[in-house]
Structure formats: structure tokens, C-alpha cells
């Protein structure tokens, strides 16, 4: 699984792209439907949406939505809106729609899938003739934004967060406002927040216990307080370890030096690994790690990236969170008790 989107300069055929841009700017007539649901009437237009590169005005209900961000499809589907196209992060799912979102997709045609391996596919985005582009969970550059804005109104990542750092609540509400379903988005967010409140009440042992999310990318990589995975733990009541923010700085995460392996010694440590058994064995065999209480007291949880629970932990959306909490919370409870005899049971693969 990609740790994050690796940005590369996209090689674009300038002449062809400009022809497409001229044919389908923000005021062009949308061609066809993106499959939006009639379950809720869209209201609140025009709406002004501030973001990192300014403010985007959506003047009317969008019908053809392309997501350049990596998880916005879940927020759209939760609100009864099917995007015209999504951008693949990982997993190779049809439409880039994971099983936790399939019920929301229903019988609608799966979105077309774009890739971002070599940057945004500007020509393909333009050819889809969108009337809204969402890049809220993204690392959109100013140049990317300028190009996309010539195609359609584009909502970039928030101004006051790191790239790929928007919270699931803010993402859902931003998407809700963009498609005229603000009240519905508020309700969806409140419902999921109520799930978190119920978990905190049921597991008071989480309150104040230290927790951390990490992965085995180029050594040990930890997710900080500005990342959705880090905030997942704090939403459950955990406290991130002291010094983590200094390590991650202005990014959503950072690699740990061997001198800072002590940051891993927390009350509950969630590992996101590529292969469950071999990667777990490799981590636990590390002499530095083997000495830590997090290992000797069985406080570590291992999730495989492309299985449902691991993938849901990276997505952290209104649709991935309910099944994620069902599977992850019992593992965290077994880990945080510090009793090696209480085995952390692996979540069901998917």
C-alpha cells in the first residue's frame, strides 16, 4: 500500500490539454449524470468553500463530480451521491469503492477510476466534463489547482491542515456543503461521533492511555497528531506520546531514528503492515523493539494494509469507521490491558 501519494510532475501534452480545457471550462454544459441520488434535495447554492488556494464557489447542484482526493467517494456515497470518477489510492476495487461502501453504492454504476501514479490525469479529468472536482484529502499543488480550476470548480485541501491531513468530520462537511447536503452531512458526522462516544464510555481504560499508529515504511514510520490515523486514536480517548509532534513536524508522519524507538513504547501500538505474519515477525525480532514493554506485554496490534480492517484504518471515513470500530476496538482493549496472556485476536481478513 502506498504510504501516501508520491507526487511526480505529470507529463501533459499541452496542446491537447488546452483544447480540452477550452471545451469544458467551469461554465460548460455538463454531459449526462453522475448518478446522484434523489433521496435528499440539494440546497444552499451558491456556496463558497474556502481552502488552501482560495475560495471556490459552487453555483448549483453538481451532477458530474470527479474526486482527485483519495477518499472523498465515501463521503459522497454516504450522502447519496455517486461520483462520475474516483482516484485510486490502493486496493484495486471496482470504482475505487471498498466493501464498506458497497451498500451505499447500491445498484448504481461504479465510478470510472483514475490513477495518480504519475500525477493527476488532467486530460482524463477534462474529458469527463465534470462540474465539480474534489481534492479535499490530497496534496494538491498550486499548479495542480490552477490547471484543475480551468476544467471545473475545484475544492482543494483545507488551508490550516497539512496535506492529506483533513479530518473525516471536516471532509464530510465540506463535501456535504459542495453537493448541497449540509444538514445530511452534519447528521452523518453526528451519528459516527456517537459511535466514538459509546466506545469511550464502554472502555474508560482508553482515556489517557498512550497510543500510536505506525508502519514499516523505510524502517519505522509513525503517524502524527495531524494525521487521520493518529486522530482516530485520540477520538477513542488515547493520548499520543509526548514528543511525537516534534518528530512529525509539519507532515502527517515521519520516520523514526533508532534513537527515538522509545516513542513506540506506548499503551497500545497499531502496526499497519503489508504482510501480516512475516512483517509482524520481522518487527518483533528487532533487538531494539524486542526490549520495549509494548512488545513484552503484548500491547501491539498488527493490521494488514489491504485487508478490510487495515484499509479502513487508512481511509478513516464516515463509511469505513463503523465496521472499523467493531473490529479494532476489541483488539485495542486486549492490547491496552498490558497482560501478555490476553491475546490480541487478529481481525477477520477481507
What pLDDT, on a 0 to 100 scale, did the predictor assign at position 341? 80
Which residues have a Cβ under 8 Å from the Cβ of 223 and sit 6 or more positions away? 212, 213, 214, 215, 229, 230, 248, 252, 253
Cell numbers of 115, please? 490513477
Domains of the chain, by residue range, sit at 14-180, 203-336
CATH number listed for the domain at residues 14-180? 3.40.50.1980
179 three-class SS: coil
Distance in angstroms (rounded) separating the CA atoms of residues 228 and 253: 10
For residue 135, the cross-strand partners are none
What pLDDT, on a 0 to 100 scale, did the predictor assign at position 208? 87
258 φ, ψ (degrees, to nearest 5) = -60, -30
Chosen CATH of 203-336 out of 2.40.37.10, 3.40.50.2300, 3.40.50.1980, 3.30.300.100: 3.40.50.1980
The sheet carrying 253-255 orders its strands as: 253-255, 221-223, 211-215, 268-273, 300-304
Cell numbers of 276, please? 501480516
Q: Which residues of the chain have pLDDT under 70?
A: 1-40, 348-350
Provide the angle, in degrees to the nearest 10, between the axes of the packed helices 182-202 and 321-336.
Answer: 20
What pLDDT, on a 0 to 100 scale, did the predictor assign at position 31? 30
Burial class (CB in 10 A: 0-12, 13-18, 19+), 175: buried
- What value, to the nearest 5°, has the Cα angle with vertex 24 and ends 18 and 28? 150
Q: Is the pTM of this model over 0.85?
A: yes
182 φ, ψ (degrees, to nearest 5) = -65, -45
Distance in angstroms (rounded) separating the CA atoms of residues 317 and 331: 20
Provide the angle, in degrees to the nearest 10, between the axes of the packed helices 308-315 and 228-235.
Answer: 100
Whats the size of the chain, residue-wise? 350
Distance in angstroms (rounded) separating the CA atoms of residues 340 and 343: 6
Amino acid at each position: 500500500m502506498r504510504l501516501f501519494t508520491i507526487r511526480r510532475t505529470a507529463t501533459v501534452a499541452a496542446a491537447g490539454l488546452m483544447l480540452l480545457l477550452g471545451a469544458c471550462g467551469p461554465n460548460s454544459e455538463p454531459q449526462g449524470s453522475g448518478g446522484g441520488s434523489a433521496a435528499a434535495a440539494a440546497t444552499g447554492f451558491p456556496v463558497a468553500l474556502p481552502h488552501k488556494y482560495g475560495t471556490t464557489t459552487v453555483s448549483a447542484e453538481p451532477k458530474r463530480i470527479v474526486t482527485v482526493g483519495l477518499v472523498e467517494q465515501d463521503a459522497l456515497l454516504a450522502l447519496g451521491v455517486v461520483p462520475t470518477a474516483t482516484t485510486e489510492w490502493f486496493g484495486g476495487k471496482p470504482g475505487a469503492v471498498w466493501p464498506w461502501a458497497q451498500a451505499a453504492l447500491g445498484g448504481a454504476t461504479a465510478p470510472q477510476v483514475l490513477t495518480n501514479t504519475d500525477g493527476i490525469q488532467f486530460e482524463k479529468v477534462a474529458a469527463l466534463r465534470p462540474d465539480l472536482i474534489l481534492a479535499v484529502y490530497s496534496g494538491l499543488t498550486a499548479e495542480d489547482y490552477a490547471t484543475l480550476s480551468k476544467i471545473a470548480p475545484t475544492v482543494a485541501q483545507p488551508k490550516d491542515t497539512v496535506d492529506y491531513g483533513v479530518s473525516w468530520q471536516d471532509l464530510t462537511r465540506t463535501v456535504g456543503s459542495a453537493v448541497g447536503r449540509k444538514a445530511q452531512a452534519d447528521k452523518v458526522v453526528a451519528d459516527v461521533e456517537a459511535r466514538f462516544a459509546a466506545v469511550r464510555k464502554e472502555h474508560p481504560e482508553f482515556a489517557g492511555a498512550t497510543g500510536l499508529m505506525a508502519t514499516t515504511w523505510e524502517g519505522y514510520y509513525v503517524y502524527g497528531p495531524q494525521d487521520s490515523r493518529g486522530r482516530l486514536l485520540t477520538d477513542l480517548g488515547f493520548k499520543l506520546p509526548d514528543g511525537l509532534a516534534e518528530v512529525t513536524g509539519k507532515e502527517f508522519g515521519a520516520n523514526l531514528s533508532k534513537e527515538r524507538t522509545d516513542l513506540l513504547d506506548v499503551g497500545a501500538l497499531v502496526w499497519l503492515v503489508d504482510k501480516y505474519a512475516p512483517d509482524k515477525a520481522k518487527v518483533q525480532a528487532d533487538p531494539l523493539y524486542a526490549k520495549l514493554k509494548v512488545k513484552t506485554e503484548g500491547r501491539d496490534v498488527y493490521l494488514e494494509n489491504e485487508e478490510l480492517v487495515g484499509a479502513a484504518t487508512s481511509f478513516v471515513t464516515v463509511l469505513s469507521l463503523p465496521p472499523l470500530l467493531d473490529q479494532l476496538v476489541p483488539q485495542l482493549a486486549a492490547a491496552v490491558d498490558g497482560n501478555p496472556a490476553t491475546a490480541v485476536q487478529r481481525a477477520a481478513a477481507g
